[in-house]
Structure 1
Amino acid sequence: MLPYLTPVKPVRRIRFLIFLKDVLILSLTTFGGPQVHLAMLYERFVQKRRYLTETELMELNALCQILPGPTSTQTITAVGFKIGGPNLAYVTLLIWILPAVSIMTAVGMGINYLEQHHLSLRFARYIQPMAVGFLIVAGYRIGQKVIKDKVSLALAITAALVAYVFRSPVMTPIVIVAGGLVTALTYEKQERMEKKPLKVQWANFFLWLGVLIGAAGLGAVTQSLPVRLFENFYRNGSLVFGGGQVLTPMLYNEFVAFKHYLTREEFLSGLGLVQALPGPVFSFASYIGALSMRDAGFSGQFWGSCVSTAGIFLPGTFLIFFVYRFWEQLKRYRVVRASLDGVNAASTGLTAAAAIVLFQPMAPHWPSVVVVLITMGILLYTRIPPFIVVVGGLMAGIIL
């Protein structure tokens, strides 16, 4: 035995534990959405630990931006996959989402408790218009990036009108797919790249598709609310491009306007509060799941949160595992790159429609309008973190 040789497995195990500790730290400290998350991932994973290079991180993030699902969650999961394979990736996902999911589940249960005991929720009255302000600013910032020409502008306006007039969750995937098909026809404008034969491993794709079809079928047969909740969130998680701000109109249409599982006020309260938490905005699903099963008691709310959380996060995880293996070849096809412009433009229109629908009932009440405008001004013209804005709104609601 050579004394100067270090066993490989213990070294890898220690490296994995250090990585997971870093993930936990990030899950407790990353406020502000995907752009801020990326900066913090760069600081810890690239500069401090050197798990990967800057180029590798940016490529992973770019890949996750064009896949359905939560961008930050997919990026950090993909880093775990790169370092230690699928097992480490799944543990990474769990640690990353656990703090925000736990808090939003507790918030959902807490709001239900207050409503059952006829206690006032007026302490959160400023959070609801603040949530609309957050959504408007998010849509504006997305639009600045993705609306590049008359075609993308027309797609965004058309998507907004269709989503506003036809408020069914069925319209969301139709609008997104239609947007992608329109700009896919303009593929000749894209730069030609040398193509390489695609070597596709289909296991994770069939896993994603099998769960999607199986959950839909099982929900239709059993009419079980937990199964249907899982299917609803799994479907939404499979179709949302652009992060939490695009997920919002999809969830509002599905669970408030169409199925009436939540009231508009409950939805907006949760949407505002999730802005004050570190970690993924998709943890909003845990809150909705808990309130959707309020009639089943405490255990039902907990179960509703669990199935909703699994439903919203699993599709993006399966898809990043699938695409990551052949991304280098896929991105060379012009039609793929061209379709993304339409998907992003349509997603912007969906966000605009949601902002209009949520703002309309507030329009006659000038205090709510003022709160919306102040929130927008703070987000656009100051560097005050969003969680500070939300905490300020809660304090104002308590004091006033």
Structure 2
Amino acid sequence: MLPYLTTAKPVRRIRYIIFLKDVLILALTTFGGPQVHLAMFYDRLVKKRRYLTEEELLELNALGQVLPGPTSTQTITALGFKIGGPNLAYLTVTIWILPAVLIMTAAGIGISYLERHHLSLQFARFIQPMAVGFMIVAGYRIGQKVIQDKVSLALAITAALVGYVFRSPVMTPIVIAIGGLTTALTYEKQERMEKKPLRVQWANFFLWLGVFVLAAGMGAITHALPVRLFENFYRNGSFVFGGGQVLTPMLYNEFVAFKHYLTREEFLSGLGLVQAVPGPVFSFASYIGALSMRDAGVHGQLWGSLVSTVGIFLPGTFLIFFVYRFWEQLKRYRVVRASLGGINAASTGLTAAAAIALFEPMAPHWPSVVVVLVTIGLLLYSKIPPYVLILGGLLAGIVL
């Protein structure tokens, strides 16, 4: 018994190191938002490494969809928790977001440098149409997995129409909730499982709420820009459902239209650049935070990026830790399991709506349409890695 105990910890440690290495590889190679991330999570974490099954991955993704915050970040954080508990989960989320945060912070500092020297920002002009191509292909691939019957197809189409017509972030949780409730009505098709009483640990929920109240109070009292940035992003991260595509208009309204921390050109340049960066789209907050504190110099920009990054990612982390602790008990209920199919189908439809909304302004400009079509063709019919396509788009923007 003792020899087994002495070898078990090193084996687990090696397994954790291998897992964190996989997380780092994904953090450096996954482009295009949560839908693309899910496809790449499947390839590496399910198909190659078998850390979990395809069904379990879709369950974790659905859990991330119904919680506010960055979906792909919550999905991979929950997986880290599943494999090695809270300590591994904290390491997972740090490694996952770090490359994107560093790149977008450098981009914010670089943009302010270019503006001070009156240099052009047009080098990123091909990236946004490429990002639309990525979203279309991601929606198609994920749709192939989650749309399995007429009900899920109808939900996806309805979600796409509603998401396109009503472009308010308020509609996202409503559409996802209706999708889940629709398939929850078919719970009798699910296999019965032994139910256990729910044991809810409230610590992380009260931690989320406490930080929320404290940040709002400190922001109102001090009026210090770093504190207000943390509060702004913590609030956005606490109430945004649906990932980076939904977060973007919220950030534009707050930091460009209302507070004027960024110009429209700066915001759109960052939006294009974040599509070229691997990892979570929520790293856009790091860029906005850096530019918001440009008047304080490079040191101030680094500080602005840090508080904005922590603010946007912290609430989602608190909430996934809170819910995941009783998720295994919760999903034993047939109604809960049945609702996941509708949640995934509705999410696929919302992805389609976001892709259409982003493509619409580009439609009159044939070069952008060509870039979208070429990107779709290369993703579907070639083996060129996504990051090579993105780097090619940046290089074309610089040369042309």
TM-score (norm 1): 0.78
Q: For residue 143 of structure 2, what is the aligned residue in structure 1? A: 143
Name which of 57, 67, 85 aligns with 1:61. 57
RMSD value, Cα: 3.8
Instruction: Kindly state the Cα deviation for residue 392 of structure 1 after the two structures are TM-superposed.
Output: 0.8
Q: How many residues align?
A: 384
Q: Structure 1: how far apart are the matches of 2:194 and 2:16?
A: 36
Alignment of 1:119-268 (within 5 A): 119-212=119-212, 215=215, 226-227=226-227, 229-231=229-231, 233-234=233-234, 237-238=237-238, 246-256=242-252, 259-260=255-256, 266-267=266-267
Alpha carbons of structure 1 residues 55 and 396: separation in structure 2 relative to 1, 3 Å: closer
> For residues 86 and 155 of structure 1, do their structure 2 counterparts lie closer, same or farther at Cα, with a shift above 3 Å needed?
same
Task: Give the direction of change, closer, same or farther, for the CA distance of 1:240–1:336 in structure 2 (3 Å limit).
Answer: farther
| Equivalence for 1:27 | 24
Q: CA deviation at 1:321?
A: 2.6
Secondary structure of the residue aligned to 1:66 is helix
Is the 2:294–2:301 Cα contact (8 Å) retained in structure 1?
yes
Q: How big is the shift at 1:345? A: 3.2
Cα deviation for residue 225 of structure 1 reads: 5.6
Alpha-carbon distance change, 349 to 204 in structure 1, aligned in 2, over 3 angstroms: same
Change (3 A) 1:359 1:278: closer
- Match of 2:63, SS? coil
**Match for residue 40 of structure 1?**
44
Q: Distance in 1 between matches of 2:146 and 2:47?
A: 27
Evaluate the alpha carbon distance shift between residue 113 and residue 356 of structure 1 in structure 2; reply closer, same or farther with a 3 A threshold. farther
Q: 1: CA distance between counterparts of 2:15 and 2:355?
A: 41
Structure 1 gap segments, 5+ residues each: 47-53
Q: Percent identity?
A: 70
Separation in 2 of the partners of 1:144 and 1:83?
Answer: 28
**Matching residue of 2:385:** 385
Q: Is the 8 A contact 1:191 1:334 kept in 2?
A: yes
1:232-288 deviation digits (Å, cap 9, x = unpaired): 5445545667xxxx5232122212256536566655544554454444444333234
For the 8 Å contact 1:125–1:397, the answer to whether it is kept is: yes
In structure 2, distance between residues paired with 1:236 and 1:155: 27
TM-score normalised per structure 2? 0.78
Shift of 1:390: 0.6
Structure 1 position 391, deviation (Å): 0.8
Q: 1:270 to 1:149 in 2, by over 3 A?
A: farther
Inter-partner Cα distance in structure 1 for 2:52 and 2:14: 21
Instruction: Please report how far the alpha carbon of residue 317 of structure 1 lies from its aligned counterpart in structure 2 after TM superposition.
Output: 2.6
CA distance in 2, matches of 1:230, 1:136: 33
Match of 1:106 in 2: 106
Partners of 2:51 and 2:11 in 1: how far apart? 25
Contact 1:286-1:308 within 8 A present in 2 as well: yes
User: Are 2:45 and 2:51, in contact at CA under 8 Å, matched by a contact in 1?
Assistant: no
Structure 1 81/175 Cα, relative in aligned 2: closer, same or farther at 3 Å? closer
SS in 1 for 2:243: helix
User: Is the 1:146–1:344 Cα contact (8 Å) retained in structure 2?
Assistant: yes
Distance 1:383-1:176 versus aligned 2 partners, 3 A rule: same
Q: CA offset at residue 388 of structure 1?
A: 0.4
